[in-house]
Amino acid sequence: MDTEQQVARHYTHGNLESAILDVLRTSGKDVENLDPSDLSGADEFHLGWHAETVEFAKELGLNPGMHVFDIGAGIGGPARHFGKAHHCRVTGIDLTQEFVEVANALTRRCGLDDRVSFQQASALALPFSDSTFDAATMIHVGMNIADKPRLFSEARRVLKPGALFGVYDITHASEAAIPYPMPWAATEETSFVETLSDYRTKLEAAGFRIEKERDRSAFALELGRRMREKAATDGMPPLGLHTLMGPATQERLANVMRALDQGTIAPVEIIVRAI
Q: What is the pLDDT of residues 123-164, one digit of tens each?
A: 999 999 999 999 999 999 999 999 999 999 999 999 999 999
What pLDDT sits at residue 231? 86
What pLDDT sits at residue 76? 97
Q: What is the pLDDT of residues 175-223, one digit of tens each?
A: 999 999 999 999 999 999 999 999 999 999 999 999 999 999 999 999 9
**b/e string for 2-17 if b means 16 or more Cβ within 10 A?**
eebeebbebbebeebb
Q: Is 127 helix (H, G, I), strand (E, B) or coil?
A: coil
What pLDDT sits at residue 1? 67
Could you tell me whether strands 67-71 and 265-274 are parallel, antiparallel, or unpaired per DSSP bridges? unpaired
What pLDDT sits at residue 235? 85
Q: What pTM does this model have?
A: 0.96
pLDDT band at 2 (very low <50, low <70, confident <90, very high): confident
Q: Which is nearest to 142 in space by CA: 101, 180, 190?
A: 190
pLDDT at 236 over 90: no
What's the average model confidence in pLDDT over 265-271?
98
In the chain the domains, ranked by start, together with CATH numbers, are 3-274 (3.40.50.150)
Q: Which is nearest to 117 in space by CA: 130, 106, 129, 128?
A: 106
